[in-house]
Amino acid sequence: MAKIVHRHSKQYANGQWRPACAAFLLLSICILLTGCRGRDSAGDAITIILDPGANSFAVDQQLAREFERETGHAVRLLKAPASSTERLSQYLQYLGAESPDVDVYQVDVIWPATLENHLADLSESFTTETAAFLPALIANNTINGKLLAIPWYVDVPLLYYRDDLLRKYGFQEPPATWDELTTMAAAVQRGERMAGQAALWGFVWQGMAYEGLTCNALEWQVSEGGGRIVAEEGAIEVNTPGARRAFTRAAGWVGSISPPGVTTYAEEECRQMFQSGNAVFMRNWPYAYSLVNGNESPVAGKVRTASLPAGSAGRAAVLGGWQLAVSRYSKNPAAATELVRYMTSRHGQKQEALGASRLPTRLALYDDPDIASEFPFIPTMRHTLDNAVARPSKVVGVDYNEVSTYYYQAVHEILTGQNSADEALSNLDALLRKVLDQ
C-alpha cells in the first residue's frame, strides 16, 4: 500500500540569509503550513462514518487501528444511525453543507446516483483492482463514468429459523413457500404457547416505514410475479395483481403469526426478539448470523438459515450492501482513499466476514477456507447473489429515495390496515407517475 509520508527538511543554509531571502522563505513556510493543514500530511486525522452494529463496529475499529499503525494517520470512527433512511438524511445534511468533517462515508448500494455530486471519483485510484469485485456492484457504483464508491460488503436476505422447534413439531425442512411458512409458524406458535411460551411469535421481519420495508415488500412482490416497482425500461410496476396478493398476505401475518408491533420493527428489533428465543422465523441480513449464533446468544446452536420462501412466481432476494466512498469536501482525499483501500482490501473484508458475518464483495473470498469453516453459509451465498433483485435505484437515479418512500409508506398503510391494498396501490401508482413524469 502506498504510504503517505511528508518530510520537512530541517537543513537550512549556513546562516547567511539576506532579508529578502528570509522573507521569501518565511512566506514559503507559511504557504506550506497552510496548505498542509488539513491536507494530506501524515498524522492528520481521517473521519469515517459507519454502521453502529456492535460486532461490526469492533472489527472496523480493529482495522482502523491497523491502518493507523501502517500509515501514521489517526482515524476517528463515527457511528451513523442504524436505519438506512435516517442515515441518508444525516449524510445529506453534512454533504449538503459541504462539510469537511467526515472524509469517508459508508454508503448504501442504492445511493451512488443520489450522492453523485458529493462523492469523489475513485476510478483513477482503483483501476485493474476493480476486476476482483462482484461486477454488478462495480457497475452499480459507477455513475456517468465515475467510480463513486468501493464495494465493502454485500447483503442478501436469509430466512433464519429455529431448527429445534421445527423438528419438535415434525417439520424436517424449512418452508419452501410463503404459504408453508405461514402454516408452520402458526403450528409452532400455537403449540409453544399452549406449553407456556406466551411471548413466542411465528415470524418477524422489517415492517417499519423505512428502507428496510422496501426490501421486504419488493421480495414478496417479485416472488408473486408482481413487478419490480420500476422496471429496467422505466415502466411503473406497483398496482399489479401479484403485488396486491403479496401485500394482502403480509397484512394477514400482522397480529396472527407476527406481533402487531412488527410494523415498527427494523433489523435490530427483529434480531433481538429472535435471539431472545421469542420467534420461530426471522427475515434478516447475514450480519445477524454471527450474533444469533454467538457465545452470548440464548439460541446459539439452535438456529439454521435458508433462502426466503417462494411465492407463485419463485423466490426473490433483494440485493443490499454497503460501499465506502470519499467525500468531495474531504481535506485529506489521498489519505481517505487509502483508508477505503485498506478497509475494502482482501484482508479488511476477510476480517469483516470472520468477525461480523458480512458477505465479501471480493469474489476470491468465497473460496477462502477460514471463512468457509467459520461460517459455512457464506460460500453458499454466491448463487443467491447472482440472482438477487436490485431495487430500481439505477433506473430512477436521484428520484430513488422519493420513489422508495412513497412505496414503503403505501405498503405500511396496507400492513397497518389504514388502507386497502387496492386503494393504497392505485394511489401509489399515481404518485410514482408524478415523480417520474409519466
Binding site for ligand GLC (CB under 6 A): 84, 108-110, 155, 211-212, 215, 285, 320-322
Q: Closest CB to ligand GLC among 119 and 215?
A: 215
Q: Closest CB to ligand GLC among 174 and 207?
A: 207
The answer to whether residues 120 and 333 touch, using CB atoms and an 8 Å cutoff, is yes
Minimum Å distance from CB 348 to ligand GLC? 17
For residue 65, give the C-alpha cell: 487501528
- State the DSSP H helix or E strand holding residue 178, giving kind and residue range, or none if neither: helix 178-194
CA dist 408 and 429 (Å) reads 13
Minimum Å distance from CB 322 to ligand GLC? 6
CA dist 353 and 363 (Å) reads 13
Q: Closest CB to ligand GLC among 53 and 227?
A: 53
The neighbouring-strand residues paired with 155 are 320
For residue 223, give the C-alpha cell: 416472488
Minimum Å distance from CB 407 to ligand GLC? 13
Minimum Å distance from CB 287 to ligand GLC? 8
Helices (H), 300-391: 333-343, 346-356, 369-374, 377-380, 382-386
Minimum Å distance from CB 215 to ligand GLC? 5
Q: Closest CB to ligand GLC among 119 and 188?
A: 119
The answer to whether residues 215 and 193 touch, using CB atoms and an 8 Å cutoff, is no
Minimum Å distance from CB 269 to ligand GLC? 12
Taking phi over 0 as left and psi of -120 to 50 as alpha, with beta for the rest, 98 belongs to left
CA angle 141, 142, 143 (to 5 degrees): 110
| Residue 11 identity (one-letter amino acid) | Q
Minimum Å distance from CB 320 to ligand GLC? 3
Q: Closest CB to ligand GLC among 109 and 200?
A: 109
Helix (H, G, I), strand (E, B) or coil at 224: coil
Q: Closest CB to ligand GLC among 109 and 222?
A: 109
Q: Closest CB to ligand GLC among 187 and 208?
A: 208
CA dist 36 and 10 (Å) reads 16
